Structure 1
């Protein structure tokens, strides 16, 4: 009954506040959606976490501007090959990533702290597949490409954040000189 009264009041053509109805409903929708988003740590992470430039790790690169191609193998031994790489500041690197194992793996670029935090989060969401520009999920036997522009000197870490893989040692480092 309350809903019916509210609908009649908001959508009455003679009510001067009818024009505000879409705004009121939109605000209510956002108010109810915010707590749901807060309950999903990965959703919050995708909004605020690994944007790349915000994390100081660089930015998505343009494949046509790639200055270097690096082949990266992933195996079920929970290792990347190579696990250490040195690039020059300003390089745009095309990573060609091959999963030579029987398990799903991924390569995610980030800071050591953000990757460790995200690895813990992934324990709660084992089937999550990343769609961020700094990450690729690679199924067994697949090959994918990630292009990244390393804009500043420092260290950029990378890891497989599939549950248990990071803890087993599946991480590496890009030294940007």
Structure 2
């Protein structure tokens, strides 16, 4: 029979295992037909081909804001986004639901903690190393989801996305503190 101190240690280990289980990237839990950080069975769309896009939307990323603040799309439309970071900080353009962004924010915080990301850029060496030895990380911790792009200051990236038929979808920056500071916009479906 374990002593009282051993029981406390076992309870702490059980708690930590449960906590780590809650931080598993939700992309692993995505159902069939979902892309990116799937959550709750709601599909947000899928990666699109630039050649199939119906239009190009220019998005300016400035420190903790997007221009434009909202985007209108047709159900099932494929849009090519040209993302230009005119701010001084690293920013992200991530398409998803509020729940997906909340889960991704935890991953982004972990990437910052482990030096994979800094306030102004991506540490490619740290991003591509074996993370399986780091507590709570697994080897799959990378920022390579098709619904998301990291854009360092002064750079331009492209992301092409075929939207779902409907849903409550946002685009957001999930770098720690940015979403909370208002770097989030709405995708509005035209009828």
- Asked whether the two chains share a fold, i.e. TM above 0.5, the reply is yes
- Higher Cα radius of gyration: 1
Which of 165, 169, 178 pairs up with 1:152? 165
Structure with higher helix content: 1
Secondary structure in structure 2 of the residue aligned to 1:114: helix
Q: How far apart, in 2, do the equivalents of 1:58 and 1:143 lie?
A: 23
User: Does the Cα contact within 8 Å between 2:23 and 2:106 map onto a contact in 1?
Assistant: no
The match for 2:62 among 72, 75, 92 is 75
Match of 1:44 among 9, 25, 49: 25
Select the residue among 73, 81, 84 that pairs with 2:70.
Answer: 84
CA distance in 1 between partners of 2:52 and 2:62 (Å): 29
Q: 1:109 aligns to what?
A: 95
Q: How does 1:2-151 map to 2 (within 5 A)?
A: 39=20, 44-48=25-29, 51-52=35-36, 55-76=42-63, 78-126=64-112, 127-128=116-117, 130-151=143-164
CA distance in 2: counterparts of 1:57 and 1:43, whole angstroms: 20
With CA pairs under 8 Å and 6+ residues apart, which has the higher RCO, 1 or 2?
A: 2
Q: Which residue of 2 aligns with 1:174?
A: 187
Aligned length: 141
CA RMSD of aligned residues (A): 2.5
Gaps of 5+ in 2: 1-16, 118-141
TM-score, L = length of structure 2: 0.65
The gaps in structure 1 that reach 5 residues or longer are: 1-35
Give the TM-score, by structure 1 length.
0.70
